[in-house]
Structure 1
Amino acid sequence: MKPAAAPSLRRRLLAATAVVLALALLVAGWGLSALFREHALQQFRDGLQGQLDQLTARLDFDPAAQPLVDSAGLSDPRWDRPYSGLYWQVDGPARSGALRSRSLWDQALVLPDDRVPGGAVHVHEALGPLGRPVLVVERSVHDPRQPQASWRLAVAADTAPLDQAVQRFRGQLALSLLVLFALLLAASWVQVLVGLAPLRALREALEAVRGQRAQRLLGRFPAEVQPLVDDFNGVLEQNAAMVEQARKHAGNLAHAVKTPLAVLRQAAERLAAGTVASGELPQLGRLVHEQVDRAARHVDWHLARARSAALARPGGQSTPVAPVAQGLVRAMARVHADRGLRIESAAIDGALAFQGEEQDLHEILGNLLDNACKWARSAVDVRAQAVTAGTQRPQVRIEVEDDGPGIDDAARAQASRRGVRLDETVPGSGLGLAIVQDLVGLYGGTLELQRGAAGGLRAVLLLPAA
């Protein structure tokens, strides 16, 4: 069943970009709006303070210590227009609104009941004429002749123009940010298209490989994609090598069994034609048995070679040596119980492990033990330990030694060749040591045949340790 497709990478990138852009622009819009309102409010306050300074400059006191304001000296025409939005007022010690601008008409500003130190400026928010919100800037002044009498000068302005300016700014800012969001999203779309273009090229290269128009991924790819391409090409090359090796083994096997099959066909034709004399039947039977045995040996050999060639040398797999060795020793003791052999395994460290498949370790040790038991007179010993050669990584050293007749120096080089049997009286196919040699070589190990302490054969294995 084909797995469900994951969400589109393009859509995920665009969705993430849209969310991040929206959040960033919302925060930016809120910040800019707050900054603009603060700036506009400060400008508004500065304007009112200028008007307050102008009012203070036009304030005077008559001989009776009553305040006088030269309204003709106030330049802003809004002072004289009723409910214009700009107002001034002078409050005395005894009454509110002793003097006020014509713009207040018949109303007065209601100021908060607080004390304003002389010369200091206070800013308040209050309600002005017609119940409209106003911003009030005020200060206290004194007549030098009567310093105990305090007069409050207040200038107020309707905040509606300020609020309208802020609202207009927010509307224009929202429209600008919306346009900016659309432009940035379009730019992100182009960026995603350009960024994912190598994946389209990779897909085309894969289509070429699948369509057998190319043997590997071809093309120039970015540095982020190139490692993936190199790994995939490595897999393709490995598969091609495995296929080629399988073809080679199939061809070798076909060539190897061609002669035995031809001999068997000839024998069958003679039997079918009735040209075999009764005295030749035992000889013909031995011939058929010999050719079948030869074909079986070739099949076993090539199957073992094909299996070893197909191995991928798995990394990270660990096989404890002690359980495998002890299990094989017990199995061989039962198989050769009638010969009374002493098959022993020395104490092996439980932490000692082979970096490879357990099945391969069984195959290697099983063939060596079986070979040793066939040739041993009375004893077979198995030993294993960890060794380190120089600065190389640790290895597992396994020794399988028998007390048999051994092999002379000239014969040891031939012992691991396929199908070679040094003694035809001992059962076997002559493939055991060759299969061991292939598997050991696959793992980068070595197999060395030596003369044992008792004169027999000692097989020394060096395999990678986990």
Structure 2
Amino acid sequence: MLALSATATLVALLLAGVIVAGILGRVVTQGIDRRLDAQLALIATAVGKDGTLDRTRLRQVQGALDAGPGWRWRVEAPALELGSEDFPQIEAGRPEHLTGAGGRGHVRPIEGLSRDGDAVHGRALRLETPGGAVTIFATAPRDIIERPVRDALLPLLGMLATIGALLGLAALSQIRLGLRPVRRLRDGVAAVRDGSIERVDEAQPEELRPLAEELNALVRDNAAALASARASAANLAHALKTPVATLALDLRDDPRAAQVERIDTTIRHHLSRARLDSSSIRAVTRVAPALEALVHTISQLHASRNITVEVDSARDYAVAIGPSDFDELLGNLIDNAARYARTGVAIEVQPDGRMLRFEVSDDGPGIPAAERDRATAPGVRLDERGDGHGFGLAIARELAALHGGALKLEEAAQGGLAATVTLPMSKRTMP
């Protein structure tokens, strides 16, 4: 918007400069033409009705014809030609009606070059007499037209530049002032996203009030849809919980009991998700203490393998996700890395715009690129060894997406798997 305004202002000022320069040139040219026409009229008083020239009269007016260096005159009569010795080569323009010389004949503008190659401007008067046509020429250096225009343009250009700068500052101030409500609305939407407020302020300018109302309606609809989804998941989980528990008792010593246990684990997971507060205010988790607790717990779980878990740059970040969801999401990723690591796990935490990026990498065997998408599908285990159920990466992906983030699997620098998850940072003040 600012670039468009600046471009429009610059174009307008350039056009104004060109137009003013043209007007100045025309005004100066008209002034010079009036002086040249006066010379023509003065010389015409020496032309008799029969086309003869009165030399005495010419000598009388010759002093008035000398207006300065470069001013020249010439008379071409049927029997005689008189005038300045260094009269320039000229080309006559279209004829005009003469305003001087008693209204006799027609005057035409002329342009030409002096013997020194300098441009000249002049006027030519043609008088029709019984003795033949008489043409009178008067010329002046074109520089006397261009010099005043140049002298006037220099301060004019400075004035236009000043006006342009002032208009640019005014446009910048106007745009910044005009966009201030938009920035406030943007900050309100960001605060809703990170859980600081429930709705954006609808006390907006008239143009933005409908947008604020629609945003609040969208927030309400999303909250209602989320509550409905959670209720449906809770109802389904509750409906399945008792039959699965009964089935587990019946299959207590059956090899298929492990599959029933996996189903029960999934049901309990969704029951715990359904117990979360369904309001639109998101919980906030401080990253450093939460990671420290997770690292301590997982290090204890894998203490027999001497696996080291290192955290880099956790600092005092906060993310818009509940502590239980954070523990489940990062805990699954860290435990999965520690399970397959040979010597250690590295956790790097870095801001990425409005998001916080967690990279959990290990030096284990990793996952082939062709299998990484399938690895995040629920219940899929690429390695059947161990006691995993195949839900860790799937749960991590689900929780990341639920809170506005994403999970990405890549190859780590150590050769193992690098699981990168992004979560929205929170600006909400925590006790």
Q: TM-score range by the shorter chain?
A: 0.3 to 0.5
Q: What is the TM-score when the length of structure 2 is the normalising length?
A: 0.46
Bigger Rg, which one: 1
